[in-house]
Amino acid sequence: MLKIENLNKSFGGVKATSDVSMNFPAGSLTAVIGPNGAGKTTFFNLVSGAIRPDSGRIFLDGENIAGQPAEVIVKKGLGRAFQVAQLFPTLTVEQTLCGALASMLGQSSRMIGQFPSPILRDQVHEVMEQLQLVDKAKVISGQLSHGDQKLLDIALALALKPKVLLLDEPIAGMGPEERQRMIDTVYALWESSDLTVVLIEHDMEIVFRVSQNIYVLSYGQVLAYGTPDDIRNNPDVIESYLGKPKEVVA
């Protein structure tokens, strides 16, 4: 579904990604982890079209999308939710989703007068149900809790019917209850759909619990790839990122 081949990007003399190759099969849930500065967000920016790669190929469903504009990549089936939610703070949850979907479908004129089409409203309601936001439909986005704002950001990506969903630290800045709700919602969404999900996350407990496979980036390069057990026990990953478990002193 999503395949990366020999992706390179430099900023000045610094190589942010160096010959990165990854493969995310259709319907998979994969985490990308690594220390700060490893190149994770740059990788997402390259894949989603926010920045252009210097070289390399990015295949989405067999088509090379490397270097194409972000809005084109979205229409081809790649959605992204950001570490800091990208919202319209003065619109309600329902208005935000209706506006995003209408714009993508070329129906922006139908938003005039507050009367989007019934079909569009049905699509928006379906997405709100998926993200447990139906009871927040009339709430102003800027008044939502941090966790609900992140759910709305994911809902914005889902409203556009992506094949691949990139999630950039979805539980960052949340308390324990919101973190659990978020990860449960994301996992249930993945289980009940054919979405390919790629997740950047620093919480290793969450990563090891939900991911099928994990890529580890270090200094812009792929350090390791494997199942959670493979990564948990990989000496290079332990040394560069995870660290050794603390010994319990009796």
Comparing 101-105, 139-143, 154-158, 219-223, the range with the smallest average pLDDT is 101-105
| pLDDT tops 60 at residue 108 | no
What was the pLDDT predicted at 147? 86
Confidence of residue 101 (pLDDT cuts 50, 70, 90): confident
| pLDDT tops 90 at residue 32 | yes
Confidence of residue 89 (pLDDT cuts 50, 70, 90): confident
Total tally of structural domains belonging to the chain: 1
Query: Rounded to whole angstroms, what are the CA distances from 27 to 80, 81, 184, 235?
Result: 16, 18, 17, 29
For the domain that residue 139 is a member of, what is the CATH number? 3.40.50.300
Residue 248: inside a domain, yes or no? no
What was the pLDDT predicted at 106? 61
Confidence of residue 245 (pLDDT cuts 50, 70, 90): low
CA distance linking residue 166 with residue 181, whole number of Å: 18
Residue 101: inside a domain, yes or no? yes
> Quick one: average pLDDT of 98-117?
63
Residue 250: inside a domain, yes or no? no
More confident residue, 194 or 88: 194
CB 200 within 8 A of CB 32: yes
Pseudo-torsion of CA 131, 135, 136, 137, nearest 10°? 90
Residue 65: inside a domain, yes or no? yes
| pLDDT tops 70 at residue 111 | no
What was the pLDDT predicted at 109? 47
CA distance linking residue 208 with residue 211, whole number of Å: 6
Cα torsion 191, 192, 198, 203: sign: negative
Confidence of residue 112 (pLDDT cuts 50, 70, 90): very low
What was the pLDDT predicted at 61? 93
Residue 24: inside a domain, yes or no? yes
More confident residue, 119 or 27: 27
More confident residue, 85 or 128: 128
The residue type of 14 is: V
Confidence of residue 84 (pLDDT cuts 50, 70, 90): low
Query: Rounded to whole angstroms, what are the CA distances from 21 to 2, 15, 192?
Result: 11, 15, 28
| pLDDT tops 60 at residue 110 | no
What was the pLDDT predicted at 115? 55
> Quick one: average pLDDT of 176-181?
85
What was the pLDDT predicted at 76? 93
Instruction: State pLDDT tens for residues 38-74.
Output: 999 999 999 999 999 999 999 999 999 999 999 899 9
> What does the mean pLDDT of the chain come to?
87
| pLDDT tops 80 at residue 114 | no
By residue range, what is the domain housing residue 81?
2-242
What was the pLDDT predicted at 242? 77
> Quick one: average pLDDT of 157-175?
87
